[in-house]
Amino acid sequence: MNFPKPEEVIPHRTPFVFLTEVTKLDAPKSAEGYWQLSENEDFFAGHFPDFPTLPGVLMCESIAQLGAYTLLSDKNFDGLLPMFGGIDKVRFRRRVAPGERLDLSVELSRISARGGKGSGQASVNGELACSCDLMFVFATV
C-alpha cells in the first residue's frame, strides 16, 4: 500500500526531514517506515570526519517524525502539531553509517487532547540501532 509522502503529512521540511517513506500505518496507533541515508548529509562531514556516524539524537528525531506522521494521518488531530515533551530510556546499540537504511517503528499509547506517549525503534538490516520512549505535547498551529 502506498501512503502519502512525509512532506504531505508532517510539517518538517528539508533539511530537517528524517523520514523517507511510511510502509505500514494504523493511525493513530502505530506505523513503520524508513529513512534512507545518502552519503551526502551535511552532518556526516563533522560527525566524525574520519568515521562518519549518524548522530543518535537524529535517530530519535526520525522515530518522532514517524510518530507525528502516525498522529497527523488521523483527522482527529487536524490543526495540531505534536512536539517533543521528553525522551526516556534511550539506548543506542549500533553505529549507523552513510548510505544505510534506518528502518523505523513506533507505537503510540496514552493519547489525549494535550499529548501522549509512545515508544519506537530504529534498526539496520534487522539489527537494533536505537530504542526510546517518547512523550509529546500538542501545539495549536
Our answer to whether residue 47 is catalytic in this structure is yes
Element (H, E) at 69: helix 56-72
The pLDDT of residue 127: 98
The pLDDT of residue 85: 94
Q: Which pTM was predicted?
A: 0.96
pLDDT in tens, 25-53: 999 999 999 999 998 999 999 999 999 99
**Amino acid letter, residue 79:** G
Number of domains forming the structure of the chain: 1
Decide if 80 contacts 139 (C-beta within 8 A): yes
Decide if 10 contacts 62 (C-beta within 8 A): no
The pLDDT of residue 105: 98
Task: Evaluate whether residue 1 is within a structural domain.
Answer: no
Residue located via cell numbers 502505530: 30
Q: Give residue 71's domain range.
A: 6-140
**Amino acid letter, residue 59:** M
* Catalytic residue, candidates 47, 80, 97, 137: 47
Ranges of residues in the chain with a pLDDT under 50 are: none
DSSP assigned state of 72: H
Q: What is the CATH number of the domain that holds 130?
A: 3.10.129.10
The pLDDT of residue 126: 98
